[in-house]
């Protein structure tokens, strides 16, 4: 149950809660109490303005945030004796953006062209459909799209230079998938994209329009002085003639042959993506099953073309409140605008925008902040003053005057004044690159020497590889831990593979590999000696009834196995996968065998999670579900492990920074500061907000690829700093930053070392 303790709002918070303005934006710093403010303003609408909870549309961007918001609001309404309102709020429009889209489409299904009982795809289902449609597009005849056919021939003739040990076909498939995913989440429809990339002539015209938009305004009037020159030359000449700096992406020379190739290759790539896009739309309509991107697209199109629906929503929702507005993508932003609400409050923080990989565009929030009345929640109430001083100092130097300090006890701080500022609560852990053992040793010191509770510690990593590395070191040090939200390696876990092999062996007993793998696994547990003898003769299934194990301990194991396997195999092919798994769990010794292993709680939780996933697809038989698992493994689909304990368990939490957003812990450890900040240059660059795609499959440099690469690097660098800001602001009383020796590679360690010297900061503790 959320904390329902009623506290008095600060003057800063009260200004937002009681504001009479109808349309405004709230910029809320980390730990500034924005959820408290949202709840209190919601209550004000209900109590003072007599609005019903069904008239207040409250949108968040995660299920967890929506659940927390609803719990707080319902609890506060009940505490005030407003039980009828609490009941309405419990089932009312306090929801994620995707839940809102789903509700909108179901309530207007006829106008949206959907069955009101349409389904929502899981991420795994969406991934599978994407791959199926991409492969179908690559395999189809492309006689009307010579650029696509030409790209396929060009890559088929390549032998070197692609990296990642992928075949040219694999490179093309991956590129098409990426372009498809990003363009589907862009503000542009498939018809427009198809038109822009129809052929080399249309693409050149489209690129020219986009280049013009990037040329400095003073130079634009001179851009056509030499209309016969290429875009790069025209950009350089116009800027020089206007006396303005030449943009970085336009400096130097461009290989015109490579430019021509890039135009043709880019056309071909996007044509393939659009062909797969068309197939996805067709298949989703046929199945009446939508993924999240399709939910947003269809909801936005419904509102765009239906004045009746827009008017009904305006009459239904008299107030709109949007949380985490910095994470809105272009389609979601258009959707919110189409609501046409006369009373809307959007709350967010550009400094915490870290979901660019989901097409969240922080520029939209900044533009709205400039276009509407703006209020601030600047004071951080989460962290101790020393941590706030540290974060304020680092980011006032990284972001300059754009940064808004969070420690406002005595007004804006002057860090260069003679009076010393304390940074107590901050620790710098000196260690080598990728030295997770030292990180674990320092965490052990906190626990054993300083009596810090394990459950108070969170280790915030950048990626799943970092999570697995620190987990191994903590486990080796004997420190109980858990990767919160899973390591996204679920489908490759041995227990999942064991169960998949068992399903195959039941559906097809003559599959020797699956049979032997099952017999060796904890499902049966035969020794390697028995497995070797059984493997000498095929088929294995025909030997089992008369097989005499060489080791005595295998005799009861084989007997117990045959007792449940033989009757189950007789009808397994007529059951669904979840029914077969249920029988396996009930009649075999598999779950007891897992319970005797290390980390038994995690193994058992994953086994039960697989049963749950199978139950979600009851139409799949055991062999089909086993094949589905293998396919997902090949696609490297990310699925987190099942939670094996609750959040209050006494163990160290490991979590990615992105998943930690909105959370807090007494002690936060930040490793992986030696990780390179920006990735390597890509052969394919996409800027969804502009509908732009550019390729570099040949050696030469093309202007559009150069421009988009430079733009993407700038955006990525800005987001990396925001990721660091989010990580540093999760700590309440102790912030521990692992710093590695600085090299020429851009890293967090280098970023921090460039603006501060921890040794000269009073109160900072240094461990070495």
Under the banding of pLDDT at 50, 70 and 90, the label for residue 620 is: confident
Q: Which of 51-65, 430-444, 647-661, 699-713 has the highest mean pLDDT?
A: 430-444
Q: Which has more confidence, 125 or 364?
A: 364
Inter-helix orientation angle 577-587/600-615, to 10°: 150
Q: What dihedral do alpha carbons 282, 284, 287, 288 form, nearest 10°?
A: -120
Tell me what pLDDT residue 649 has. 75
**Phi and psi for 620 in degrees, rounded to 5?**
-90, 130
- What does the pLDDT look like over 127-165, one tens digit per residue? 889 989 999 998 886 667 788 888 888 887 765 444 444
The phi, psi pair for 461, rounded to 5°, reads: -110, 170
Question: Which residues neighbour 224 within 8 Å (Cβ) at sequence distance 6 or greater?
Answer: 234
Tokens representing 140?
């189809």
**pLDDT-based confidence at 685, cuts 50/70/90?**
very high
Give the model's confidence band at 431: pLDDT under 50 very low, under 70 low, under 90 confident, else very high. very high
pLDDT of amino acid 701: 80
Give residue-wise pLDDT tens across range 503-560: 999 988 999 999 999 999 999 999 999 999 999 988 999 999 899 999 999 999 999 9
Phi and psi at residue 143, to the nearest 5° = -60, -30
**CA dist list (Å): 173 to 64, 178, 183, 244:** 34, 9, 15, 42
Mean pLDDT of 175-185: 93
What is the pLDDT averaged over residues 25-44? 93
Over residues 557-568, mean pLDDT: 92
Residue 55: pLDDT over 70: yes
Question: Is the model's pLDDT at 117 over the cut of 80?
Answer: yes
pLDDT at residue 680 tops 70: no
Q: What is the pLDDT of residues 578-610, one digit of tens each?
A: 999 999 999 999 999 999 887 788 788 888 888
Q: Give the C-alpha separation, 638 to 492, whole Å.
A: 10
Residue 205 token pair = 């015209």
Question: Using one digit for the tens of pLDDT, what is the confidence trace for 188-213?
Answer: 999 999 999 999 999 999 999 999 99
């Amino acid at each position: 149950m959320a904390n329902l303790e009623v506290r008095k709002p600060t003057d800063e918070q009260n200004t937002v809660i009681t504001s009479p303005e109808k349309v405004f934006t709230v910029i809320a710093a980390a730990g500034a109490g924005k959820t408290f403010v949202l709840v209190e303003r919601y209550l004000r609408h209900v109590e003072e303005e007599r609005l019903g909870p069904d008239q207040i549309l409250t949108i968040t961007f995660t299920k967890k945030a929506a659940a927390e918001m609803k719990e707080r609001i319902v609890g506060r309404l009940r505490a005030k004796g407003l039980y009828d309102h609490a009941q309405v709020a419990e089932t009312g429009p306090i929801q994620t953006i995707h839940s809102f889209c789903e509700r909108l489409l179901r309530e207007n299904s006829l106008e949206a062209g959907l069955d009101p009982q349409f389904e929502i795809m899981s991420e795994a289902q969406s991934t599978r459909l994407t791959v199926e449609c991409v492969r179908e597009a690559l395999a189809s005849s492309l006689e009307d799209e010579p650029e696509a056919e030409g790209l396929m021939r060009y890559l088929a003739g390549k032998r070197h230079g692609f990296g990642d040990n992928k075949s040219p076909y694999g490179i093309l498939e991956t590129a098409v998938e990426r372009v498809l995913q990003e363009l589907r989440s862009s503000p542009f429809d498939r018809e427009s994209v198809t038109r822009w990339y129809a052929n080399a002539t249309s693409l050149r015209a489209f690129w020219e329009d986009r280049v013009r938009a990037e040329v400095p305004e003073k130079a634009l009037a001179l851009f056509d002085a030499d209309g016969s020159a290429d875009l790069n030359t025209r950009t350089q000449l116009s800027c020089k003639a206007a006396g303005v700096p030449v943009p970085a992406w336009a400096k130097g020379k461009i290989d015109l042959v490579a430019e021509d190739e890039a135009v043709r290759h880019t056309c071909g790539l996007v044509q393939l993506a659009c062909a797969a896009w068309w197939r996805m739309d067709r298949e989703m309509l046929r199945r009446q099953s939508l993924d999240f991107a399709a939910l947003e697209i269809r909801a936005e199109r419904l509102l765009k073309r239906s004045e009746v629906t827009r008017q009904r929503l305006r009459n239904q929702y008299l107030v709109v409140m949007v949380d985490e507005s910095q994470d809105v993508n272009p389609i979601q932003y258009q959707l919110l605008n189409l609501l046409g609400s006369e009373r809307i409050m959007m709350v967010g923080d550009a400094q915490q925008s870290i979901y660019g990989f989901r097409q969240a565009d922080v520029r939209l929030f900044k533009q709205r902040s400039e276009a509407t009345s703006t209020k601030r929640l600047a004071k951080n109430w989460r962290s101790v003053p020393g941590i706030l001083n540290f974060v304020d100092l680092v980011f006032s130097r990284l972001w300059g005057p754009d940064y808004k300090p969070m420690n406002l006890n005595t007004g804006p701080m002057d860090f260069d004044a003679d009076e010393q500022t304390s940074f107590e609560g901050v620790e710098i852990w000196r260690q080598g690159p990728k030295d997770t053992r030292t990180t674990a040793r320092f965490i052990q010191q906190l626990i054993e020497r300083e009596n810090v509770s394990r459950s108070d510690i969170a280790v915030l990593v950048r990626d799943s590889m970092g999570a697995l590395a620190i987990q191994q070191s903590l486990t080796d040090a004997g420190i109980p831990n858990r990767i919160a939200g899973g390591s996204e390696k679920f489908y490759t876990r041995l227990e999942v593979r064991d169960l998949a092999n068992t399903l195959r062996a039941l559906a097809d007993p003559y599959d020797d590999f699956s049979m032997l793998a099952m017999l060796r696994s904890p499902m049966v547990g035969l020794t390697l000696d028995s497995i070797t003898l059984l493997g000498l003769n095929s088929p294995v299934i025909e030997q089992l009834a008369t097989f005499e194990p060489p080791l005595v301990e295998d005799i009861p194991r084989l007997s117990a196995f045959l007792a449940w396997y033989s009757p189950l195999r007789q009808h397994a092919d007529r059951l669904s996968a979840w029914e077969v798994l249920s029988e396996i769990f009930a009649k075999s010794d598999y779950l007891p065998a897992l319970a005797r292993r290390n980390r038994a709680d995690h193994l058992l939780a994953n086994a039960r999670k697989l049963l749950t996933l199978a139950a979600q697809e009851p139409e799949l038989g055991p062999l089909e579900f086993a094949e589905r698992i293998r396919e997902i493994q090949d696609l490297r689909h990310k699925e987190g492990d099942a939670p094996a304990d609750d959040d209050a368990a006494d163990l160290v939490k490991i979590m990615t920074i992105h998943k930690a957003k909105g959370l807090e812990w007494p002690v936060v450890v930040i490793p992986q500061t030696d990780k390179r900040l920006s990735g390597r240059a890509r052969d394919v660059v996409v800027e969804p907000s502009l509908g732009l795609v550019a390729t570099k499959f040949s050696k030469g440099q093309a202007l559009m690829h150069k421009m988009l690469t430079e733009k993407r690097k700038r955006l990525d660098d800005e987001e990396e700093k925001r990721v660091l800001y989010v990580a540093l602001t999760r700590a309440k009383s102790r912030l521990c930053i692992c710093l590695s020796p600085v090299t020429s590679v851009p890293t967090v360690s280098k970023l921090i070392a460039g603006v501060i010297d921890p040794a000269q900061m009073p109160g900072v503790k240094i461990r070495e």
